[in-house]
Amino acid sequence: MKTQFFVLGIIISICIAACKESGDLVVKPVRATKTIEFRGFALGDTIEQYFDGKKVREFHGRVTYSGRMIFDKEGPVIMDLKKKGDSKVLYSKVFEQDTTKTIPPFTIWYDGVKVSETYNYPEPRPGIEQIAFYFDFPANMPVDIVYGDASGDVNGMQYLARNVQPKQWVDFMEIEPLDGTELYVFLLKAGTKEFLIQNRFELSYIQAQLPTTGGWYQGGDVQSLFARYVPASDQQEEQIAVENLIDTFRR
């Protein structure tokens, strides 16, 4: 009988001991906030951004964020970047909570393999336009890069590069001012006289600045053009979207 009461007493004690009245707040109080600004570019893959081990957002292509960061626990906040589908941390950054120190703006550059805070590109040279190309196109879409006037006459096009394969860089070309007043860059299907998108020049145009002898732009800048193929949808026709990485990583 004593044993039974003893066992019963232990059970009741355990149960009462389990009855805690305090809990952890689900929405943690904000201890401090800091403004934070970062820009960047993720080439080829999708990059996942984690803060304190919790995934917050994904990047593919251009990245910009300008806002605030909150601190809801003691100590710093740690940011990790990982390639989607891979647990390996490619890059980490620590943000201290000390509110007397601001967070300087920073950049993130993912070149398809590694993450760094800088994107290297050549120094501008007066009178010389330096242009690099990268085509984030399906594997079966090699292109020729041509330029010409607004008439869209494919026979009048001049070649900048031939048979450029998708997902490969065309390194910085040095282009001196070209004859003409207003010239545009177009894409052709590699080895053909056919414009890349529906054989329509207005859809196969990419936004790039070419220096001309008779035009208003004489060159001297640097362009790193990332072109992405956007398939057709209910809302729009298929098209090419272009971003200049130099705008993101301007020194």
Partner 1 sequence: MLLITMLQVNAVTLAQKVTINVTNAPLVQVFDSIRDQSGVDFFFSASLISKAKPVSVRINEQELGIALAEIFLNQPLTYVIKNNAVQVRIKEQNAADNIGRISGKVMDDRGEPLPGATIKIIQTGQTIQSSPDGTYRFSVNPGIYTLEVTYVSFQTRRITDVTVTANELTTLNITLNAVINSLNQIVVTSGYKKGSVAGHYSQQKNAAAVTNGISSEQISATPDRHVGETLSRISGVSTTDGSKVVVRGIAERYNVATLNGSILPSTDVQERNFEFDLIPSNMVENIVVSKSVTADMPYGFAGGAVQVNTKAIPSENFMSFSAGLGYNSRTMGKDFLGYGRGKYDYFGFDDGSRDHFPKDILNIESGFKPNQPDDQNEVSLAEVADQNKRIGGTERLGTRSYQAAPAQNYQFSLGRVYSLSKNKTRNFGFVSSVNYRNTQRNNYIRNMRRGSWSLRPTNGDDLDDVNTGNLYNFNTNLGALLNAGFSTDKHQIQTQNIYNRVFDNQFSRITGWSWEQPKSPDNPFPEVEEDERPKFTDLLQNRISGKHVFGRFTIDWNASRTHLKQVEQDAISGGLGNTVYANYAPLYHYYPGQASDPGWGNLNRGQFSYREADKEAMFNAAYNFRLGSTNHIFKTGYNYLHRHLFYDWLVLPIVVGDVFRSSYAEIPVQEWGDHMDMKNPMTSFYYKTSKYLDAGFEGKGITHGSYVMTDSKIGAMLRVIWGVRAEHFELDTIKNPTSLMTDDNVKLLLEEEKAWRFLPSASATFSPIADLNLRVAYAKSAVRPGLMENSRFSRYNPNYGTRVRSQGVTTSIIDNYDLKAEWFPKAGEVISAGYFYKKFDKPAEFYRINDESGGSAYVTIGNSDWAKVKGWEFEIRKSLDFILPGALFMNNIFLTGNLTLQKSEVRSREIRYAKGSDGNDSTYFNYLKHPRQLYGQVPLLYNLGAQYTGKRFGINLVYNYMGYKTFVTSSEPMLAEYERPRAQLDMQLSYRFFGNKMQARLNVRNLTDAPYRFFVNDASTYEQKPGTEDLLNAEWGDRYEYKSGFSEKFEKGYTDKETGQLIGDRETFTNYVGRTTSLSLTYNF
* Stretch of 16-24, 126-134, 190-198, 208-216 contacting partner 1, by CB under 8 A: 16-24
- Two tokens at 14? 């355990």
Is residue 70 part of the contact set for partner 1 (CB under 8 A)? Answer: yes
- Two tokens at 34? 């800091």
Is residue 231 part of the contact set for partner 1 (CB under 8 A)? Answer: no
Query: How many degrees, rounded to 5, is the angle at CA 156 between CA 143 and CA 126?
Result: 75
Number of residues lying near partner 1 (CB under 8 A): 31
Q: Which of residues 141-170 bind partner 1 (CB under 8 A)?
A: none
Is residue 4 part of the contact set for partner 1 (CB under 8 A)? Answer: yes
- What span, in angstroms and rounded, lies between the C-alpha atoms of 239 and 81? 30
Is residue 20 part of the contact set for partner 1 (CB under 8 A)? Answer: yes
164 pairs with which residues across the strands? 143
Residue in 3, 22, 100, 155 binding partner 1, rule: CB under 8 A: 22
The count of other CB atoms within 10 Å of the CB of residue 215 is 15
- What span, in angstroms and rounded, lies between the C-alpha atoms of 146 and 151? 14
Residue in 44, 45, 51, 239 binding partner 1, rule: CB under 8 A: 51
Distance of CA 197 to the CA centre of its chain: 24
Residue 68 buriedness (CB in 10 A; 0-12 / 13-18 / 19+): exposed
Residue in 42, 43, 63, 77 binding partner 1, rule: CB under 8 A: 77
Tell me which residue has tokens 């242009």: 131
- What span, in angstroms and rounded, lies between the C-alpha atoms of 206 and 199? 14
145 pairs with which residues across the strands? 161, 187
Q: Pick the closer one to partner 1 by CB: 27 or 139.
A: 27
Largest separation between any pair of C-alpha atoms in the chain: 109
Residue 99 buriedness (CB in 10 A; 0-12 / 13-18 / 19+): exposed
For residue 242, the minimal CB distance to partner 1 (Å) is: 22
Q: Pick the closer one to partner 1 by CB: 35 or 165.
A: 35
Q: Which of residues 182-221 bind partner 1 (CB under 8 A)?
A: none
Q: Pick the closer one to partner 1 by CB: 71 or 226.
A: 71
Q: Which of residues 31-50 bind partner 1 (CB under 8 A)?
A: 33, 36
Q: Pick the closer one to partner 1 by CB: 93 or 228.
A: 93
* Stretch of 28-36, 142-150, 178-186, 224-232 contacting partner 1, by CB under 8 A: 28-36
Residue in 10, 64, 68, 84 binding partner 1, rule: CB under 8 A: 68
For residue 72, the minimal CB distance to partner 1 (Å) is: 8
- What span, in angstroms and rounded, lies between the C-alpha atoms of 104 and 36? 7
Residues that bind partner 1 (CB under 8 A): 4, 8, 11-12, 15-16, 18-27, 29-30, 33, 36, 51-52, 56-57, 65, 67-70, 77, 79
